């Protein structure tokens, strides 16, 4: 079997001087040192940030931190719910997901995916026959419990082993990873020693791995910061420039013979400047001689707001996050005219389905198989994972929507297209994700009188009625709250 070893990304050893094409004219001393890497435009290669640069951006730049945490938070904020035909099983699995702190774990998992390009979750499976060999696949048939799930990023992952044998059913899939342990509790004979500690091999069945920005031929994923670096640089430039304008927006002058005397002694001049600044508030103070003159050239503020708006528009386009959301849109409340925010939540929902769902369902299947949790074959029962709604309309839009819906249903009743009972049920239908007409009539021939129903069918009908009643009550609460 041919395997591919993927090395961990390290800081580039070659000088940035070799990659410089243009140096920003505003760079300090026009230098091309690592200190001024944000002012360089590489040529002939992709921009690559090492781990230290990525960590520094996330730590020092609040906007950079926001654009990687906001989508992950929105995808996990309202949680999810496991449902099946067995209510006791539903309660058990949902409680286990809470005990595992799944919302926070997956939020960190998703934000690390954007930050580092690769993120992982360790699955703490407890097997019936104690097996400490992490190189072996997780035995799901003898799985007792999932004790924990822990997120970690690529910085402790040394190698990712991928199966590249084209005649294998697992072609293109990961076989295992090698993780830096960093302590000596493991047997040195079964592990390789590295500078940072031991390398422990972990089978792919014992962890989850999400990638971002990895193209064909790339060894690993790429940080979102590499893609939106210019947009973040523009934010940083705007922040510095506006700060300079505000700092120099107003200043005073102090003219006296004492200035000429103090100029000969830097210590006296500094002492006098500090004293005068303290006495005359925090506005900038210019100290000039009696025969000198300082002219204040006013800063033109016209157009600055347009430049700031362009900066936010540019960042919004780079991150798929609307400007209204970046600037603090009220969480979970959307008016009918905010199509950009609605599109954002549609994007988040698609990310839930395409990125988050496979990992959550994999975890749930393990919980169902675990003998101390579900103790059932997940393929033998009907179950599903539902994400809770991401947003709700504000009260005014909700009332307008309800009025329009009532008027439309009233017209359908008057023309005989719907019965009053059907219109009543349609009006109380609050499933925003259901795009199909509930009244197709396909099952009309299957309706039986109540007295002809079996006991199980009667119980199911009563259960459905109680559920519909609760749904109607919740609908009115949401409408008028």
Q: What is the pLDDT of residues 303-349, one digit of tens each?
A: 888 888 899 999 999 999 998 888 875 555 555 456 788 889 899 99
CB 100 within 8 A of CB 146: yes
What ranges in 300-356 are assigned the alpha helix state H? 304-319, 323-326, 339-351
DSSP strands (E only) in 39-130: 40-42, 80-84, 118-127
- Assign residue 192 a region (left: φ > 0; alpha: ψ between -120 and 50; beta: otherwise): beta
CB 38 within 8 A of CB 60: no
Tell me how far apart the alpha carbons of residues 91 and 353 are, in angstroms, rounded to a whole number. 23
| Positive or negative: CA dihedral 281, 285, 289, 293 | negative
pLDDT of residue 16 exceeding 50, the answer is no
Tell me how far apart the alpha carbons of residues 158 and 120 are, in angstroms, rounded to a whole number. 13
Highest mean pLDDT among 169-178, 249-258, 378-387, 458-467: 378-387
CA Rg value for the chain:
31
pLDDT of residue 475 exceeding 90, the answer is no
Provide the pLDDT for residue 327. Answer: 84
Q: Per-residue pLDDT tens for 411-469?
A: 888 888 888 888 887 777 644 333 333 333 344 445 566 667 777 776 776 666 665 55
Tell me how far apart the alpha carbons of residues 1 and 364 are, in angstroms, rounded to a whole number. 31
**Who contacts 391 (Cβ-Cβ below 8 Å, separation ≥6)?**
332, 333, 334, 341, 342, 345
Task: Name which residue leads in pLDDT, 61 or 243.
Answer: 61
Tell me how far apart the alpha carbons of residues 87 and 103 are, in angstroms, rounded to a whole number. 22
Task: Name which residue leads in pLDDT, 473 or 16.
Answer: 473
- Average pLDDT (364-391) is 93
- Average pLDDT (171-191) is 68
**β-pair partners for 392:** 333
From the CB of residue 307, how many other CB atoms can be counted at a distance below 10 Å?
13
CB 84 within 8 A of CB 322: no
Label residue 245 by pLDDT band (50, 70, 90).
Answer: confident
Provide the pLDDT for residue 410. Answer: 86
Q: Per-residue pLDDT tens for 67-88?
A: 999 999 999 999 999 999 999 9
- Average pLDDT (232-238) is 90
Name the average pLDDT for the chain: 76
Provide the pLDDT for residue 291. Answer: 67
pLDDT of residue 371 exceeding 80, the answer is yes
Tell me how far apart the alpha carbons of residues 192 and 126 are, in angstroms, rounded to a whole number. 26
CB 450 within 8 A of CB 458: yes
**Who contacts 425 (Cβ-Cβ below 8 Å, separation ≥6)?**
438
Among 3-12, 242-251, 466-475, name the one with the lowest average pLDDT: 3-12
Label residue 382 by pLDDT band (50, 70, 90).
Answer: very high
CB 24 within 8 A of CB 198: no
Identify the residue whose tokens are 């690592």. 34
Provide the pLDDT for residue 325. Answer: 87
Nearest alpha carbon to residue 162 among 219, 124, 109: 219
CB 54 within 8 A of CB 115: yes
Provide the pLDDT for residue 278. Answer: 59
Provide the pLDDT for residue 389. Answer: 87
Nearest alpha carbon to residue 222 among 9, 4, 5, 34: 9
Provide the pLDDT for residue 261. Answer: 66
Whole-model pTM?
0.68
Write out the H or E segment, with its range, that includes residue 296.
Answer: none
Task: Name which residue leads in pLDDT, 384 or 252.
Answer: 384
Provide the pLDDT for residue 241. Answer: 85
Label residue 268 by pLDDT band (50, 70, 90).
Answer: confident
User: Which token pair is 363?
Assistant: 């975890």
**Who contacts 436 (Cβ-Cβ below 8 Å, separation ≥6)?**
none
């Amino acid at each position: 079997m041919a395997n591919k070893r993927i090395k961990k990304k390290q800081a580039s050893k070659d000088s940035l001087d070799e990659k410089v094409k243009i140096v920003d004219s505003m760079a300090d001393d026009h230098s091309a040192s690592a200190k001024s890497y944000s002012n360089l435009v590489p040529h002939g290669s992709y921009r690559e940030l090492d781990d230290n640069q990525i960590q520094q951006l996330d730590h020092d730049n609040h906007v950079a931190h926001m654009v990687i945490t906001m989508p992950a938070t929105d995808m996990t904020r309202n949680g999810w719910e496991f449902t099946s035909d067995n209510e006791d099983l539903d309660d058990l699995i949902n409680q286990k997901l809470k005990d595992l702190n799944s919302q926070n774990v997956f939020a960190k998992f998703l934000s690390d995916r954007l930050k580092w390009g690769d993120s992982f979750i360790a699955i703490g499976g407890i097997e019936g026959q104690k097996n400490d060999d992490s190189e072996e696949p997780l035995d799901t048939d003898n799985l007792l419990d999932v004790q924990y799930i822990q997120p970690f990023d690529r910085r402790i992952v040394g190698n990712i082993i991928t199966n590249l044998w084209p005649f294998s059913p697992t072609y293109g899939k990961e076989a295992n990873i090698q993780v830096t342990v960093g302590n000596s509790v493991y047997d040195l004979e079964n592990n390789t020693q590295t500078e940072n500690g031991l390398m422990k091999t972990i089978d792919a069945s014992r962890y989850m791995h999400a990638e971002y920005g990895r193209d064909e031929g790339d060894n690993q994923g790429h940080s979102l910061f590499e893609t939106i670096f210019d947009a973040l640089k523009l934010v940083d430039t705007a922040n510095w420039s506006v700060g300079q304008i505000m700092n120099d927006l107003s200043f005073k002058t102090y003219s006296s013979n004492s200035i000429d005397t103090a100029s000969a002694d830097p210590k006296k001049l500094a002492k006098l400047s500090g004293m005068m600044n303290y006495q005359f508030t925090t506005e900038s103070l210019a100290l000039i001689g009696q025969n000198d003159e300082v002219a204040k050239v006013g800063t033109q503020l016209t157009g600055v707001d347009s430049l700031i708006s362009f900066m936010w528009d540019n960042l919004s386009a780079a991150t798929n996050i609307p400007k209204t959301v970046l600037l603090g849109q009220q969480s979970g409340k959307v008016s009918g005219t905010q199509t950009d925010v609605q599109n954002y939540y549609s994007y988040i929902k698609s990310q839930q389905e395409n990125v988050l769902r496979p990992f959550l369902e994999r975890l749930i299947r393990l919980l169902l198989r675990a003998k101390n949790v579900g103790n059932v074959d997940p393929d033998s029962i009907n179950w599903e994972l539902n994400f809770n709604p991401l947003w709700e309309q504000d009260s005014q839009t909700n009332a307008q929507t309800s009025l329009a819906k009532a008027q439309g249903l009233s017209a359908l009743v008057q023309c005989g297209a719907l019965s009053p009972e059907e219109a009543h049920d349609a009006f109380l239908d609050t499933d925003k994700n259901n795009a199909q007409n509930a009244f197709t009539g396909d099952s009309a021939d299957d309706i039986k009188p109540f007295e002809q129903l079996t006991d199980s069918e009667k119980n199911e009908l009563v259960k459905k009625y109680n559920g519909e009643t609760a749904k109607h009550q919740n609908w009115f609460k949401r409408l008028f709250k």
